[in-house]
Amino acid sequence: MTNALDREAVPDSRNPLGFDGIEFIEFATSHPQALGGVLEAMGFRPIARHRSREVELYRQGAMNIVVNAQPADLPRTAQPVERPVISAFAVRVRDADLAFRRALDLGAWGIPVRARAMELNIPAIHGVGESLVYFVDRHDKFSIYDVDFNTIPTVDPHPPALCGLHFFGLVQYVGTDRTADWVAFYSQIFGFTALPNKVRFGIMPKGLLLQSPCRNFFLQLIEPDETARFAPMEEHLQRIGLGTPDVMAAVADLERRGVEFLATEQVHSSERGALTKPLLGSVMFELVKSPAEEPAPQR
């Protein structure tokens, strides 16, 4: 017998990259202080500053948010303007170099190395619109931020999360009839799988949900309304979804800190989820009910 598996189609590993959640999410803005104020209201704390770039790190529990005000030096990347945009997210993988090279083989566009001397070279590919997707490995062995960032003195580098908040997902706006394209992109390069239509989290049910191979992170792809079908294609990462075991407790906690939530007939806070009012033009956070551990799809 030459190959024990040659009589049946045995599928590849569900998680070929060793995908293990999100290391950080990055915003680009030319007004980092204003965004910092919003992030602090949401419970994040400034932790560190980049050694050579105008970049700050905010943290809460296991979540890292990078605020980038450095003018973009690459085509097709987000140029910081006043209105903050989600400009990148970093996925944790078993072997960043392997994941990066595999992505290039499958058709991803890599970006050239930008690290200066003694800085980490974090490989990245172009994602939706002007965004990037980074690959980070060994996140459990050492902190990538120790290399490139100076810690802000006297602050607690590990501020606890409010109400168990953690990264739950990202909402991506896609063009008309483009959902299938992006499903192919995320499934081929990262191993995401599309969830059946009846599986829904939170209070914003539109679009299609993709689940990460580690099952803990979701992408929600949303096409324009019928009336906007003929508008020029606008695609970008729209908002961050934060998971919490108790949405109403988190809403109460955040409201005490000055965060306002949408309270309309269609969209209002409930046990399932909540949505903050947009700030600074378009910055919104969505709260989603989820167990702190591995969230099981609600069927």
- Strand-pairing partners, residue 150, are 49
Q: Look at residues 151, 122, 150, 128 and name the one whose alpha carbon lies nearest to residue 24.
A: 122
102 in contact with other proteins (CB under 8 A): no
Q: How far apart are CA 61 and CA 288, in angstroms?
A: 17
**Among 31, 83, 94, 126, which residue interacts with other proteins (rule: CB under 8 A)?**
126
Q: Choose the stretch contacting other proteins; rule: CB under 8 A; options: 60-68, 99-107, 252-260, 272-280.
A: 99-107
223 in contact with other proteins (CB under 8 A): no
Q: Look at residues 84, 85, 83 and name the one whose alpha carbon lies nearest to residue 127.
A: 85
12 in contact with other proteins (CB under 8 A): no
196 in contact with other proteins (CB under 8 A): no
- Strand-pairing partners, residue 59, are 45, 64
Please, what is the minimum distance in Å from the beta carbon of residue 177 to other proteins? 9
137 in contact with other proteins (CB under 8 A): no
> Of the two residues 142 and 230, which places its CB atom closer to other proteins in the complex?
230
> 20 near 214, Cβ under 8 Å?
yes
Please, what is the minimum distance in Å from the beta carbon of residue 144 to other proteins? 25
Please, what is the minimum distance in Å from the beta carbon of residue 171 to other proteins? 17
**Among 108, 124, 219, 275, which residue interacts with other proteins (rule: CB under 8 A)?**
108
> 93 near 107, Cβ under 8 Å?
no
135 in contact with other proteins (CB under 8 A): no
Please, what is the minimum distance in Å from the beta carbon of residue 180 to other proteins? 4
**Among 6, 12, 230, 296, which residue interacts with other proteins (rule: CB under 8 A)?**
230
127 in contact with other proteins (CB under 8 A): yes
Q: How far apart are CA 36 and CA 20, in angstroms?
A: 27
Buried b (16+ CB within 10 A) or exposed e, 85-118: bbbbbbbbbeebeebbebbeeeebeebeeeeeee
Question: Strand, helix or coil at 165?
Answer: coil
Q: How far apart are CA 202 and CA 290, in angstroms?
A: 9
- Strand 193-194 to strand 236-244: parallel, antiparallel, or no bridges (unpaired)? unpaired
- Kindly determine how many residues on this chain lie close enough to bind other proteins according to the rule CB under 8 A: 25
Binding-site string for other proteins from residue 175 to residue 194, where x marks contact by CB under 8 A and - marks none: x--x-xxxxxx--xx-----
Buried b (16+ CB within 10 A) or exposed e, 120-139: eebbbbbbbbbbbbbbbbeb
* DSSP structural state of residue 268: B
**Among 62, 79, 109, 205, which residue interacts with other proteins (rule: CB under 8 A)?**
109
105 in contact with other proteins (CB under 8 A): yes
**Among 229, 257, 268, 277, which residue interacts with other proteins (rule: CB under 8 A)?**
229
> Of the two residues 66 and 108, which places its CB atom closer to other proteins in the complex?
108
**Among 128, 136, 208, 251, which residue interacts with other proteins (rule: CB under 8 A)?**
128
> Of the two residues 74 and 233, which places its CB atom closer to other proteins in the complex?
233
**Among 155, 199, 233, 263, which residue interacts with other proteins (rule: CB under 8 A)?**
233
Q: Look at residues 212, 222, 240 and name the one whose alpha carbon lies nearest to residue 182.
A: 222
Give residues in contact with other proteins (CB under 8 A). 105-109, 126-129, 175, 178, 180-185, 188-189, 197, 226, 229-230, 233, 235
